[in-house]
Amino acid sequence: MINTMPADHPYRAAVMAEVHARPVEIIPDVCRLRRLVFVMPARPGAMMDVFRRFETICTDRGVAPPSPTSRQHSFDSGSRHVTWEFHTEFVTVTWRTDLGDKKNWPDDLGLEALGDGLLIGAMRIDIIADSTIPDRLVPGFNLASLCLADIENGKGQVATDFVPDADKFTRFELAAGNLSGLRRSIIARRLLEVETYRTMALLGLPLAREASPELRVIENELTELLEGLSEAVTLSAVQEALTALHTLSVRSGQLAERLDYRFAAGHAYGDILRTRLGGLRESGTTRGSTLTHYIGNRVDPGLATCRAMEKRINVLAGKTERAISLLNVRIGVDMQVQNSAVLDRIAATARSQFLLQRTVEGLSTIAISYYLLGILSYAFAGPLEELHWPKTMTLSIAAPFVVLAVWLMARAVRKAHEPKD
């Protein structure tokens, strides 16, 4: 008996590779992490163009290029360990140095590969060997927005104020002295992802605010149209209202097309953000808020605004479609009434033509019979005189038979021209 390996599902390799697509990199107990987040243009092939340029840069610098399916690639550049991550619509560039590194924008990261990508986030995390945030570091934060919380069930602390510095970087302090190397690395990565997904989740909020006046105008126009539908009693008025509704439907559809993807992505990023915050296992301190509470109070209302805008667009589309359906029904009913009236007129005309035809047929029978009797009177004048039959009496007797014969002949002709079933 020959044993054969079963065939793999076409996506098996991709599913298995996903587990290791973005591995956690072990970091030392004292270091500085920086990350830049760039949103790529929303055009086909933009991310692939960045990936190809990044491959070229790696090759030119003598660094091993990423594999074609890689979504995370690391390399060393001098004293820096650099990691690029490729996501659906954004790219992150993260590098690790010692705490004494003051250079926020080094020129050996390969940022030229990003082309026309736009910066949306920048953060810095200082990992220190202390078990709690030292008091000397707290005054460096904005106390009004200070977040200082215990993490990993009290084994470490994190502090930030979410205020960008002069170089656009948001500063985090991570006291991870009681954490193992793996847990320290995982927590640092989660903090990077918290700030990354916090900014990405709120990308739809400015769009929602910009689109709100336009949506309000469309809603008001739709309300006016719906209120005036009862006055649209003529076919031309109904057609005019239907045209206006179609225009509003197109405008609302264009608005939804601009916002749908951004809102859906924002909800997805928000879900990831909440998951990453939950993974920090935070608890509050007396010196500031937790990240979960602070971010929740800022991000959740923004996402709720996007969700409300999305709902308004869906309600607007639903109202417009229902109004269009009602007008289409109205037009259909009006057309049925018109068609019924036309059919009634056609039926009346057909009946009139039928009666006229019968009248003409009767008159024709009389006329033909009259001329036929005249012909017969001349044709049989001689024979009747020889037979001594009275001409008048003979024609009188023949008249009913002549009329009957002419009528039967006309009837046969009419039947011959009637359509067959």
What's the pLDDT score for residue 106?
Answer: 92
What's the pLDDT score for residue 269?
Answer: 95
What's the pLDDT score for residue 384?
Answer: 67
Say what percent of the chain tops pLDDT 90.
Answer: 54
Residue extents of the structural domains in the chain: 22-188, 204-341, 346-415
Query: Would you place residue 4 in the very low, low, confident or very high pLDDT band (cuts 50, 70, 90)?
Result: confident
What's the pLDDT score for residue 3?
Answer: 60
Name, in order, each residue with C-beta under 8 angstroms of 237's C-beta and a sequence gap of 6 or more: 231
- The whole-angstrom separation of Cα 132 and Cα 178 is 9
pTM of the model: 0.77
Q: What is the mean pLDDT of the chain?
A: 87
- φ, ψ for residue 215 (rounded to 5)? -65, -40
CA distances to 52, 189, 368, 395 from 381, in Å: 118, 131, 20, 10
Alpha helix ranges (H) inside 228-290: 235-278
What's the pLDDT score for residue 54?
Answer: 95
What's the pLDDT score for residue 17?
Answer: 75
Q: Is the pLDDT of residue 157 over 70?
A: yes
Give me the CATH code for the 204-341 domain, please: 1.20.58
Q: Is the pLDDT of residue 417 over 70?
A: no
What's the pLDDT score for residue 391?
Answer: 67
- The whole-angstrom separation of Cα 193 and Cα 26 is 16
Query: Would you place residue 419 in the very low, low, confident or very high pLDDT band (cuts 50, 70, 90)?
Result: low
What's the pLDDT score for residue 238?
Answer: 77
Overall average pLDDT of the 341-368 stretch: 77
Name, in order, each residue with C-beta under 8 angstroms of 206's C-beta and a sequence gap of 6 or more: none
Cite the beta strand spans of 114-252 per DSSP E: 118-128, 147-151, 156-164, 170-175
- The whole-angstrom separation of Cα 201 and Cα 303 is 8
Q: Minimum mean pLDDT among 11-15, 58-62, 96-100, 366-370: which range?
A: 366-370
Q: Is the dihedral of CA 182, 55, 102, 168 positive or negative?
A: negative
Find the Cα–Cα–Cα–Cα dihedral 317, 319, 321, 327, rounded to 10°: -150
What's the pLDDT score for residue 172?
Answer: 97
What's the pLDDT score for residue 19?
Answer: 77
Q: Is the pLDDT of residue 139 over 80?
A: yes
Name, in order, each residue with C-beta under 8 angstroms of 295's C-beta and a sequence gap of 6 or more: 194, 198, 273, 277
For 370-415, write each residue's pLDDT tens digit.
777 777 777 776 776 676 677 677 767 777 877 777 777 777 777 7
- φ, ψ for residue 103 (rounded to 5)? -85, 110
360 vs 190: which has the higher pLDDT? 190
What's the pLDDT score for residue 9?
Answer: 86
Overall average pLDDT of the 1-30 stretch: 80
- Cα three-residue angle 230-231-234, rounded to 5 degrees: 110
For 196-214, write each residue's pLDDT tens digit.
999 999 999 999 999 999 9
Overall average pLDDT of the 136-156 stretch: 93
One-letter amino acid of 414? R
Overall average pLDDT of the 114-137 stretch: 94
CA-nearest of 310, 291, 288 to 299 is 291
Q: Which two tokens stand for residue 92?
A: 């992150």
Q: Is the dihedral of CA 320, 322, 324, 327 positive or negative?
A: negative
54 vs 238: which has the higher pLDDT? 54
Query: Would you place residue 332 in the very low, low, confident or very high pLDDT band (cuts 50, 70, 90)?
Result: confident
